[in-house]
Amino acid sequence: MKALARICLWLYVLVFIGAGGAMLIGAKDAAQMVGVSTEMLELSGVASLLNQLRYMGAIAIGFGAAVAVLHKQILTEKRHATLFVVVLLLMPLSRTISLFMDGFPHFSLLLLMLGEYGLFAVFFLHTKRNVWAKGKSAEGATETDKAGLDPELAELAEAAIAADKPKAGAAKASVKS
């Protein structure tokens, strides 16, 4: 499950950055791809639609970049993993709400919704087994383990904590002087 989650995470990053870039550059094509013709709208409506699609493209690029930067924390730390899983659920959930409130969208968006639910399921299972389960077995764990730090960061933190503790001999010598 860990390998699948890692592969899906990097595919997710590539798709988000790629789709975001495509929407940023080709907003008109993105609108037509989902069945919206710019001839159907007034001039201000066309400008508003394209503006919003380019904005969504920029958000997708930013989110993909943030996931790329935080990939270790997303795969190992409780707080980051939980936020990521919640965001992964909100995306297809918003499409589902729209499906019932607004009607059926273009077929490609239904396929995206199903893929998004699948991605959510992969990350939910990964997080449940590999991140949330660690929190339940915290007996005997160090303070940094309990804080849910990445193992590399936890090792550095433990070394820093150990370096800050006064040595017995040094404490006695400072008392005598």
Under 8 Å between Cβ of 60 and 23: yes
Q: What is the model's pLDDT at position 64?
A: 95
The predicted-structure confidence for 98-128, as pLDDT tens digits, reads as follows 999 999 998 888 999 999 999 999 999 999 9
Average pLDDT over residues 136-144: 52
Average pLDDT over residues 13-25: 93
Under 8 Å between Cβ of 103 and 34: no
Which tokens in the block code for residue 134?
């660690």
Query: In percent, how much of the chain has pLDDT > 90?
Result: 55
Q: What is the model's pLDDT at position 141?
A: 52
Q: Tokens 């037509």 label which residue?
A: 32
Q: What is the model's pLDDT at position 44?
A: 83
Q: What is the model's pLDDT at position 85?
A: 96
Mean pLDDT, the chain, integer: 84
Closest alpha carbon to 31 in 13, 11, 12, 57: 57
Q: For 22-35, give the DSSP string.
A: HHHH-HHHHHHHTT
Length of the chain equals 177
pLDDT band for position 96 (cuts 50, 70, 90): very high
Q: What is the model's pLDDT at position 134?
A: 82
The predicted-structure confidence for 38-80, as pLDDT tens digits, reads as follows 787 788 888 898 899 999 999 999 999 999 999 999 999 999 9
Q: Flag whether pLDDT at 133 surpasses 80.
A: yes
Average pLDDT over residues 78-104: 95
Contacts of 90 (CB under 8 A, 6+ apart): none
Average pLDDT over residues 6-25: 93
Average pLDDT over residues 149-157: 69
Q: How far is 113 from 110, CA to CA, in rounded Å? A: 5
Q: What is the model's pLDDT at position 139?
A: 46
List the chain domain ranges. 2-162
